[in-house]
Amino acid sequence: MTKFLIDDAGWLQSAEVIRSPNFDARPDHAQVKLVVVHGISLPPGEYGGGHIQSFFCNNLDAAAHPYFESICGLTVSAHCLIERDGNVIQFVSFRDRAWHAGESQWCGESACNNFSVGIELEGCDQQAYDEAQYLALAKLISALRLRYPGIGSDAITGHSDIAPGRKTDPGPAFDWARLQRLLMV
């Protein structure tokens, strides 16, 4: 498996880059110690079309789909998006705070955006994710662990786990055991 490399500025060397304006600096002394796995599809249940990229860059056309009217005013992002075919797009440097988790808590610590990396998988709660996505996610997490040794084996979680009752992604279709097996290779 080819490895991802993260440079000193926090960018993957082999990923497509689309810079999102939806980020800010991490608080002083904040250490990356958590990976949050998300699932997203725009419109819900549909893939492709570049709508996620537009959403993360505040360019979503509200008239393109009725659902978009309800979200186009939101300012959100993630560090990376893994498309259905495994292509990785980076939106925010890992050194910065992407706006992905919202109100959240992990191990008694709130505001997870301060110390986490947010990785979106193109998908939805009820449909299986593609093998290419699991492979890319495992490679990305391995690279993050090399760069940020504070990310332990127990520090990979779903959005639903840090924002229970508010979020459901990546959903029951996400195979955590498969990801764990790939991370052990």
The structural domains of the chain, ordered by start, are 16-40+76-184 (3.40.80.10)
Predicted local distance difference test score (pLDDT) of residue 134:
98
Type of residue at 32: V
Q: At what angle do helices 131-147 and 176-184 cross, to 10 degrees?
A: 50
103 is catalytic: no
Predicted local distance difference test score (pLDDT) of residue 3:
85
Residue 34 backbone phi and psi in degrees, to 5: -145, 140
Q: How many helices (H) and strands (E) does the chain have?
A: 4, 10
Predicted local distance difference test score (pLDDT) of residue 50:
97
Q: How far apart are CA 71 and CA 88, in angstroms?
A: 23
Selected catalytic residue, list 46, 103, 120, 122 = 120
pLDDT one-digit tens code per residue, 42-94 = 999 999 999 999 999 999 999 999 999 999 999 999 999 999 999 999 999 99
Q: Provide the mean pLDDT of the chain.
A: 97
E strands along the chain, which residues?
16-17, 23-25, 34-40, 80-82, 88-90, 96-98, 105-106, 109-110, 116-122, 156-158
By the 8 A CB rule, do 147 and 94 touch?
yes
pLDDT one-digit tens code per residue, 162-177 = 999 999 999 999 999 9
Predicted local distance difference test score (pLDDT) of residue 1:
54
Give SS3 for 119: strand
Predicted local distance difference test score (pLDDT) of residue 125:
95
The pTM of the full predicted model, rounded to 2 decimals, is: 0.97
Q: What is the mean pLDDT of residues 6-20?
A: 96
Confidence band, pLDDT 50/70/90 cuts, at residue 2: low
Q: What is the mean pLDDT of residues 123-141?
A: 97
